[in-house]
Amino acid sequence: MHTVIMGCGRVGSMLARQLSDAGHSVAVIDRDAEAFRRLGPEFRGTQVLGMGFDRDTLTKARIAEAHAFAAVSSGDNSNIIAARVAREQFGVEIVVARIYDQKRAAVYERLGIPTVATVPWTADRLLREIIPEGVISEWRDPTGQVAIAAIPYHREWIGRPVHQLERALSVHVASIIRFGEALLPDESSVIQDGDIVYAAVLCTDLVAVPDRAAARPGEESA
């Protein structure tokens, strides 16, 4: 799945890194070459210098192959124009725009273009739109580095100790909702059918964790 992101600020770079780390194809557009430094040396996607609503720039970012487009630059007008170009001229299936002006945001929501505001969980909302089956955090710590999220898991984890799931997914299970009641797991806790598992996850792993959790338990978890 290919995603094009316009804007390599804090939110855009975080989103790009999470998608790239999870193995997705990503192209990031920004008019400032220095902005790409936020992606870090491990980023495996494409960096495209230019304006996000320019057809040539979008073509270089492989917009025609894109499943999703996120316009998250610092300017409402640029984000609106780019989102419309992606949707109306290139037919991108999922288009999300970051819009500061809430009145304008409401208009575009009615036109079918989801919008996000300047809030701490902006990156999570974007992930919710781009990858609906992904993990969405319920809470983030003040640094924005650790989140509490409900973790989907393969049915073969049922009947296995919680600590095995923690080790396999590199998470820390904070609580479990069982039959409508919350409980704090301990070393003897076992996952039961119907359990909703909430875990502390590094925000950089919010996209990768579902892929690991959806897999059958490995031999090391047996």
pLDDT tens digits for range 150-192 = 888 888 999 999 999 999 999 999 999 887 788 999 999 999 9
Contact 199, 138 (CB under 8 A): no
**In this predicted structure, what is the pLDDT of residue 134?**
57
Q: Give me the phi and psi of 199, to 5 degrees please.
A: -135, 155
If asked whether residues 60 and 147 sit together in one domain, one would say no
Buried-state track 212-222, b at ≥16 Cβ within 10 A, e below 16: bbeeeeeeebe
Mean pLDDT of the chain: 84
For residue 120, pLDDT beyond 60: no
If asked whether residues 128 and 161 sit together in one domain, one would say no
**In this predicted structure, what is the pLDDT of residue 172?**
94
pLDDT tens digits for range 41-68 = 989 999 999 999 999 999 999 999 999 9
What is the band of 24 on the pLDDT scale with cuts at 50, 70, 90?
confident
Long-range CB contacts (< 8 A, 24+ apart) of 53-62?
A: 53/6, 53/78, 53/81, 53/82, 53/85, 55/85, 55/89, 57/29, 58/4, 58/29, 58/85, 58/86, 58/90, 60/27, 61/4, 61/27, 61/28, 61/29, 62/2, 62/4, 62/27
For residue 37, pLDDT beyond 50: yes
**In this predicted structure, what is the pLDDT of residue 106?**
72
What mean pLDDT do residues 90-111 have?
A: 80
| Count of domains observed in the chain | 2
Q: How far apart (Å, rounded) are the C-alpha atoms in residues 7 and 26?
A: 13
Provide the domain limits for residue 185.
138-221
If asked whether residues 128 and 142 sit together in one domain, one would say no
For the domain that residue 23 is a member of, what is the CATH number? 3.40.50.720
For residue 200, pLDDT beyond 90: yes
pTM of the predicted model, to two decimals?
Answer: 0.61
Contact 160, 193 (CB under 8 A): no
**In this predicted structure, what is the pLDDT of residue 135?**
60
Of the candidate ranges 105-109, 125-129, 208-212, the one whose mean pLDDT is the lowest: 125-129
If asked whether residues 151 and 128 sit together in one domain, one would say no
If asked whether residues 119 and 184 sit together in one domain, one would say no
Point out the domain boundary residue: 132, 155, 183.
Answer: 132
Which comes out higher in pLDDT, residue 172 or 149?
A: 172
Q: Checking DSSP bridges between strand 146-150 and strand 115-116, what pairing results, if any? A: unpaired
Q: How far apart (Å, rounded) are the C-alpha atoms in residues 139 and 148?
A: 5
Point out the domain boundary residue: 87, 112, 132.
Answer: 132
What is the band of 119 on the pLDDT scale with cuts at 50, 70, 90?
very low
For the domain that residue 163 is a member of, what is the CATH number? 3.30.70.1450
